[in-house]
Structure 1
Amino acid sequence: MERGHVTTPFGRRPMSFGMLASQMASRDIEPDKSVDKWKLYRALCEARPLLGVTDRALAVLNALLSFYPKNELSEEGGLIVFPSNAQLSLRAHGMAEQTIRRHLAVLVAAGLLIRKDSPNGKRYAHKGRGGEISEAFGFSLAPLLARADEIEELAARVIAERIHLQRLRERITLCRRDITKLVEAAIEDDPAAGWMAVLTHLQELVVGLSRIATADQLESRLEELEMLRDEITNRLEMRIRSRKTSGNAGQNERHIQNSKPDSISELELSFEPKQGATAEQERGPHLPTDMIAPAVGGREPPERAAREDIKPFPLGLVLQACPQIADYVPTGIRSFRDLMTAAVVVRKMLGVSPSAYEEASSILGPENAATIMACILERGGHITSAGGYLRDLTRRAKRGEFAIGPMLMAQLRANGPLRRAG
C-alpha cells in the first residue's frame, strides 16, 4: 500500500483506531526486508494463543497466502492479494463464504491484515500494458511483514512455555510414580502401618490438578508431591535402619543361644515365622524333626500353623482393591463378616465348590479366603475356572509359595487409588 496513504473500509464497516494503527505500523517496514511466508505462517500458528486468533481464522489466512505468487513476502513483490470469497472457499477446504467473511474480520481486528477496499467493495487489480499490476484492491499482507520479528518472538515464547509445562508434567509424573511404587512396597511389607492415609493424600493432590493447569499451579503441586515423596523415603529409610539394628541384635542373641546347645527351647524361639510359610519352614532348617516338642495331643497340623501365621490385610485396603465384592451384600461391607458373607455368594456364582473354598479357608484363614474370592471376582474375565484357580493358590500357599500381598497390590493398581495416581 502507498506510504502516507490511509485506506478506509467500504460500506457500513466502521474505521477503528486499531485499523489505523496497523496501517501506520505497516509504513515502517525496513527497506529490502523479506520473510518466508510459510515459515512466518508456522510461527503464527505457534503464537496463536497470544495473538487472539482461532485456528479457523488461520486456515483462511493460509488460503490468502496461497494467492501470493512468491514464497518471500516483500514490498517489491507487492503485498496485496485479491481473491474472491468463492476462490477463498475452494482453497479453505470448502469453508462457507459467510464463515470466511467472519474470520477475515477477526484477522483484520488482530492486526494481521489490512483491508484495501475498492470504490465498490470488490477485489480486483489494474494492470498496465506490460501486464504488471499497477494498483490492487483486496487484503494487504503488509502487517505480517511489519510484525514478522514480533510474531517470531511470540512463537518462541509459546514454545518455551510449552516445553516448560511438559518438563513440569514429566517431573510430576515421575514423582507420582515414585510415591505410588514406594507406598505399594510399604503396604505389602506392613499394611497396618497407616499407609492408606498417604494414598488418600496422594489421590487428593492428583484429583485437584487440572489438565489445563498453569505453570505456577504445576510448580506448586510438584513441590507438594516432592515433599510427600521425601517424607515417605525418610520413613522407609528409618524402617530399614531400625531393622538392620534389630537384625544385628538378633544375630548376637542367636550366637549366644547357639553357644548353649542344651537350650533347645530358646533356639526354637529365635526363628520368626514368615507370612505363608509352612510349619517345617517355621521350625528352621537347623533342627531335626525329632528335637521339636510336639503340640498337646500330637503334632500341630501344617494347615493350622499356616492359617495362624497369615494375617488378613486391612478391610479398607481390600475394598479399595476389589470394589465389586461390595455389590453382593445389600447393606454394604462394614466388617470381615460381611466380606465373608459376600464371598460365599460369589463362590456360588463363580461355580467354586464348597470343598475348595473350605480348604482355602483352613489353609489361609476365612478372611484371606474371602479376600482371594474378591480378587478372583475382579479378574473373572481372565480366569477360566475359578475353582481350579483357587485350589492351585491353596496348594501353593500350603507349600509356602504364595502370598496374598502381590495379588492384592495388583488389584489395587488396577482399581484403587494407585491407578488414579499413577
Structure 2
Amino acid sequence: MVVFPSNKAICERLNGMPCSTMRRHLARLVEAGLLMRRDSPNGKRYVRKRGEERVAFGFDLSPLYCRAEEIARAAEAVREAEDRVRRLREVVSLMRRDLAALAEFGDEIQPGLGLWDQLRDTAALTARALRRKLSLEDLSSYRTELETLLDQARNVIDGPETEEMNTNDAHFERHHHNSNKESIDIEPALEKGGAAAGAPEADACGPEADVEEPDTRRVPKIPLHLVIASCPSLKTFYQGDVRHWHQLFDAACHVRPAMGISVSAWEEAQRCMGPEQASIVVVAMLERFSDIRSPGGYLRALTSKAAAGEFSCGPMVMALIGRRSAA
C-alpha cells in the first residue's frame, strides 16, 4: 500500500497548504507510526514497472490500515467528549439565564437584598466566561456554583408561603370545579371515539377526574411567584388569589375548558407531570394562547415528553419571563 504523490500534489489537495507545513505534518505522522517512508535511491517518489512487477517508492499506508479500528475508537471517544462539553455548556448557559431572571424578579418583590446583586454579578461573569472555550472541569465548576445560587434564590423567593399540594379527596373537595359550559375541543381526532368538536364534556376537576398520586410527591422547584409573574393573562380569566399550588391547580381547572383542552388530555398530563407541573404548563400555554394552534395536541406532546423524562416546565416559564423583559 505505497503511494507516491509529489509534494506539490499533496499541497494542492490540502487547499494550498505551504510545503514546509505539509512536510512537518508528514514527519509527525511518520513519528506516530501511521506512515512509513519507502525511499528511492535518489529520494524521489515514483513507481517502476517491470512486466507485471511493480515497485513503488513513497509512503507506505499499511500501518494506517492496520490501526484503523484503533483510530476509529479514539475518534469516537473525542466526539463523545466534545458532545459532553457541548451539552454541559448548554446547561450552564440556561442556568445563567435563569439566574439573571430570578435576580430581576427577586429585586421586584424584595428590593435591596444583597443576594440579587450577587446573582447579577455571577450571571455576568458566567456569560463572559462562556465566550471562551472552557474545559469539562471548568463547566462543571460553573454548574455547581450556579446550582447553589439558584437554590438560594428559590428559597428566598419561594419562602415559607408555598405549600405542598395535597391530592387526597378531603383536601381537594372545595377545589372541584364543575361547569356546565361546553368545552371548545379542538383536538377531536385524539379523543376516544372521535368526538366531534364542540361536544359537551365534564370538567376535569370534577370528582370523577381526581388523580390519585402518592402524598410524597414534591412541588416543582420553580417558585410559584415566578410562575404567576410570567403569566399575567391568568388574572384576566381567573379572579381568585393564587398564593399556593392548590390555588394554581384550581385556576388551571378553570381555564382549561375554554382553551379547548379535553378531559383526557388534562388527566394524562396530571398523571405524567403531577398536578402542579401540569397546572404550570396550562397557565403558560394560556399566556401564549394565540401562538398555539392546538392547545390540546400541544399538551399531549408535552405529556409524552414528560412520560419519557424529557420535559421540565422551568425553561417554559423562563422563556415567558425573558419575553416580558424584552418587550
With normalisation by structure 2, the TM-score equals 0.46
Higher alpha-carbon Rg = 1
With normalisation by structure 1, the TM-score equals 0.36
